[in-house]
């Protein structure tokens, strides 16, 4: 096999070819028998991408030969290897003489596998599955509202309610328009029929709430009957969270969060990330009184950059092998003391399907992570209990769709997280660019009230508290990509939120001072 164009000389040929075959599968391309050996690490992405752009489904030896003949300007690959990370002999000389609080307490963590799609993927995308998905969504979200309100129906509206009489109705939004008089007209469906709800512009608070109604929202409207099938609205309610304060964890200890490291990208901040690893590992004793209490590390996705995720990503990649990307991120995480529990969910750059809900990154890609005793791999969304606190990890792939539909600020992920909690749905917007598959089980619905809610995806960090739930989006460890420049996304890399689980208070440690891109 010496003459084979191995992708990495240190690997078996089979594993190397698998990377190419996996990439071809990702692009929904088929390789002609024998064509595989004509592809290697310097060209396989460009050739597969080009064949895809050219409208081919099968990549033949002839196509590859032609490509090579015509191609005089293959994008140069940065051959300079990333520096290998030396993994020290586990943890840590410095602290042998000290007591470390988090080392002396047992972890209090329970993964809620029943709320996780990992190992349960079943949908094939049939229309009947989507119908069932929407029906289940309506029943679950409507059920939350029915617990708080006595609800009538569109049939009552037409048969039993007189003009100007009060009525309370539940429905799923089919359509929203502004009338020629400047009022909002919402068309709703409550399974017994349809009705229209008018929100008058003369009430600015109510009108503003009306502007934030999105298609497919399940809402409750209180109002008075105006006529057949139509009400004037005087109040709008969402399934929402109950008013409450933070429940407080069992003990005085801390959790931290990082996300969107995008290891494999040239824009990954290696040095700053190593500084973070050294800090959390107490290698330099900085902030000892705080760091010794860190017991949990949440990582809601995009731990690697992946391959072929966005147009021209090849130009911004430094590690071209998805397996090696996971090996390298593992080498960082292995430096963290084993008493810190690390909970990792997938993101849209990770080696899992793009559509929500996403299963955990599999052992096939992240074998070394699975071998770490203190690592817990979950899906997105993933639920767990930490120190008695209900904790929800969701990468946040739906967040741009929600920001677009509700016109929310892109750099304030906490606003989007509040809208998810208000709707009790992690993916309330359908038909946008973010794909959702109708898995049985309602995984995208927020059926219980979380105490901690962590997302990633938006590379700007943001923290808040919404009705007793602490919201955390840690930002990123990647600089601004060309794609993000085009999309207007401004990252805040190298910031680590520190959550006191007994109070819900958040502090932040900054590892890239002053960097705004």
Are the CB atoms for 438 and 130 separated by under 8 Å? yes
Least distance to Fe ion, CB of residue 395, Å: 8
| Interface stretch with Fe ion, choices 132-140, 183-191, 253-261, 404-412 (CB under 5 A) | 253-261
DSSP 8-class letter at 96: G
| Interface stretch with Fe ion, choices 23-31, 93-101, 254-262, 330-338 (CB under 5 A) | 254-262
Least distance to Fe ion, CB of residue 262, Å: 6
- Helix ranges, 287-355 (H): 288-291, 322-333
CB atoms within 10 A of CB 485: 11
Least distance to Fe ion, CB of residue 316, Å: 13
| Interface stretch with Fe ion, choices 172-180, 183-191, 202-210, 299-307 (CB under 5 A) | 299-307
Tokens 């969060």, residue located: 257
Interatomic CA distance for residues 441 and 369, integer angstroms: 28
- Closer residue to Fe ion in complex, CB, 302/451: 302
Distances (CA, A) of 390 to 88, 360, 386: 34, 19, 7
Exposed, middle or buried: residue 452 (CB in 10 Å: 0-12, 13-18, 19+)? buried
- Closer residue to Fe ion in complex, CB, 190/302: 302
- Closer residue to Fe ion in complex, CB, 388/435: 435
Interatomic CA distance for residues 236 and 354, integer angstroms: 34
Least distance to Fe ion, CB of residue 347, Å: 6
| Interface stretch with Fe ion, choices 134-142, 248-256, 291-299, 300-308 (CB under 5 A) | 300-308
Residue numbers 131-160 binding Fe ion by CB under 5 A: none
- Closer residue to Fe ion in complex, CB, 459/509: 459
Dihedral angle over CA of 268, 507, 276, 267, nearest 10: 10
Interatomic CA distance for residues 59 and 202, integer angstroms: 62
Least distance to Fe ion, CB of residue 162, Å: 55
**Quick check: 449 binds Fe ion (CB under 5 A)?**
no
- Closer residue to Fe ion in complex, CB, 217/302: 302
- Closer residue to Fe ion in complex, CB, 36/420: 420
| Interface stretch with Fe ion, choices 34-42, 189-197, 233-241, 295-303 (CB under 5 A) | 295-303
Residues with Cβ within 8 Å of residue 259, at least 6 apart in sequence: 299, 300, 301, 302, 303, 347, 395, 454, 455, 456, 457, 473, 474, 475, 476
| Interface stretch with Fe ion, choices 51-59, 302-310, 401-409, 490-498 (CB under 5 A) | 302-310
Binding mask 211-250 for Fe ion (x = CB under 5 A): ----------------------------------------
- Closer residue to Fe ion in complex, CB, 43/403: 403
Interatomic CA distance for residues 454 and 471, integer angstroms: 6
Structure tokens at 304: 């690697």
Are the CB atoms for 420 and 426 separated by under 8 Å? yes
Least distance to Fe ion, CB of residue 478, Å: 7
Least distance to Fe ion, CB of residue 143, Å: 34
Least distance to Fe ion, CB of residue 468, Å: 28
Interatomic CA distance for residues 207 and 186, integer angstroms: 12
Least distance to Fe ion, CB of residue 355, Å: 17
**Quick check: 302 binds Fe ion (CB under 5 A)?**
yes
- Closer residue to Fe ion in complex, CB, 374/473: 473
Are the CB atoms for 458 and 396 separated by under 8 Å? yes
Interatomic CA distance for residues 453 and 464, integer angstroms: 10
- Helix ranges, 115-153 (H): 127-148
Of the residues 38, 108, 260, 387, which one makes contact with Fe ion according to CB under 5 A: 260
**Quick check: 350 binds Fe ion (CB under 5 A)?**
no
Are the CB atoms for 174 and 217 separated by under 8 Å? no
Distances (CA, A) of 127 to 189, 274, 297, 356, 379: 19, 48, 40, 17, 25
Least distance to Fe ion, CB of residue 260, Å: 4
- Closer residue to Fe ion in complex, CB, 306/504: 306
Least distance to Fe ion, CB of residue 82, Å: 19
**Count of all residues that appear for the chain in the document:** 517
Binding-site size for Fe ion (CB under 5 A) equals 2
- Closer residue to Fe ion in complex, CB, 108/302: 302
Half-sphere exposure of 443 (CA within 13 A, CB side): 29
- Closer residue to Fe ion in complex, CB, 141/361: 361
| Interface stretch with Fe ion, choices 120-128, 191-199, 301-309, 319-327 (CB under 5 A) | 301-309
- Closer residue to Fe ion in complex, CB, 260/439: 260
Whole-number CA gyration radius for the chain: 26
Least distance to Fe ion, CB of residue 401, Å: 15
Binding mask 171-210 for Fe ion (x = CB under 5 A): ----------------------------------------
Least distance to Fe ion, CB of residue 394, Å: 13
Number of H helices and E strands in the chain, helices first, is 14, 19
- Closer residue to Fe ion in complex, CB, 84/433: 433
Interatomic CA distance for residues 327 and 369, integer angstroms: 8
Bridge-based pairing state of the strands 218-227 and 166-178: antiparallel
Residue numbers 362-391 binding Fe ion by CB under 5 A: none
The binding site for Fe ion (CB under 5 A) comprises: 260, 302
């Amino acid at each position: 096999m010496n003459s084979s164009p191995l992708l990495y000389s240190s690997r078996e040929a089979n594993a190397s070819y698998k990377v190419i075959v996996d990439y071809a599968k990702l692009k929904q391309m088929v390789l002609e028998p024998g064509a595989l050996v004509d592809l290697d690490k310097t060209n396989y992405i460009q050739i597969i991408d080009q064949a895809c752009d050219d409208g081919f489904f099968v990549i033949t030896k002839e196509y590859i030969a032609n490509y090579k003949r015509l191609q005089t300007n293959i994008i140069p690959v940065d051959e300079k290897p990333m520096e290998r990370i030396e993994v020290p002999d586990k943890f840590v000389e410095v602290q042998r003489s000290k007591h470390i609080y988090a080392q002396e307490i047992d972890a209090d963590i329970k993964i809620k596998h029943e709320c996780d799609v990992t190992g349960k993927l079943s949908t094939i995308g049939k229309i009947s599955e989507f119908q069932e998905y929407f029906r289940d969504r309506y029943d679950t979200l409507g059920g939350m509202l029915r617990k708080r309100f006595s609800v009538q129906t569109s049939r009552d509206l037409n048969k039993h309610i007189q003009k100007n009489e009060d009525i309370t109705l539940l429905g799923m939004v089919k359509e929203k328009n502004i009338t020629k008089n400047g009022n909002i007209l919402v068309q709703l469906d409550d399974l017994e029929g349809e009705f229209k709800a008018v929100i008058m512009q003369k009430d600015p608070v109510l009108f503003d709430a009306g502007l934030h109604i999105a298609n497919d929202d399940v809402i409750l409207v209180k109002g008075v009957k105006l006529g057949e099938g139509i009400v004037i609205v005087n109040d709008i309610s969402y399934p929402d969270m109950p008013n409450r304060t933070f429940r407080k964890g069992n003990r005085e200890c801390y959790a931290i969060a990082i996300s969107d490291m995008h290891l494999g990208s040239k824009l990954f901040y290696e040095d700053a990330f190593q500084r973070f690893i050294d800090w959390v590992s107490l290698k330099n004793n900085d902030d000892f009184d705080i760091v010794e209490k860190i017991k949990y590390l949440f990582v809601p996705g995009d731990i690697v950059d992946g391959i072929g995720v966005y147009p021209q990503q090849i130009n911004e990649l430094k590690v071209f092998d998805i397996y090696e990307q996971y090996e390298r991120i593992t080498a960082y995480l292995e430096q963290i003391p084993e008493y810190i529990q690390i909970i990792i969910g997938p993101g849209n750059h990770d080696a899992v399907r793009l559509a929500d809900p996403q299963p955990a990154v599999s052992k096939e890609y992240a074998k070394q992570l699975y071998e770490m005793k203190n690592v817990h791999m979950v899906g997105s969304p993933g639920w767990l209990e930490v120190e008695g606190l209900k904790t929800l990890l969701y990468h946040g792939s739906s967040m741009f769709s929600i920001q677009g539909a509700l016109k929310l600020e892109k750099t304030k992920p906490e606003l989007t997280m509040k809208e998810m909690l208000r709707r009790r749905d992690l993916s309330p917007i359908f038909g946008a660019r973010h794909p959702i598959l109708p898995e049985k089980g309602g995984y995208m619905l927020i059926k219980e009230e979380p105490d901690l809610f962590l997302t990633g995806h938006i590379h700007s960090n943001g923290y808040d508290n919404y009705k007793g739930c602490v919201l955390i989006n840690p930002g990123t460890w990647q600089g601004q990509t060309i794609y993000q420049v085009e999309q207007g996304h401004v990252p805040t890399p190298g910031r680590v939120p520190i959550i006191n689980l007994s109070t819900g208070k958040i502090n932040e440690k900054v590892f890239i001072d002053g960097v705004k891109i």
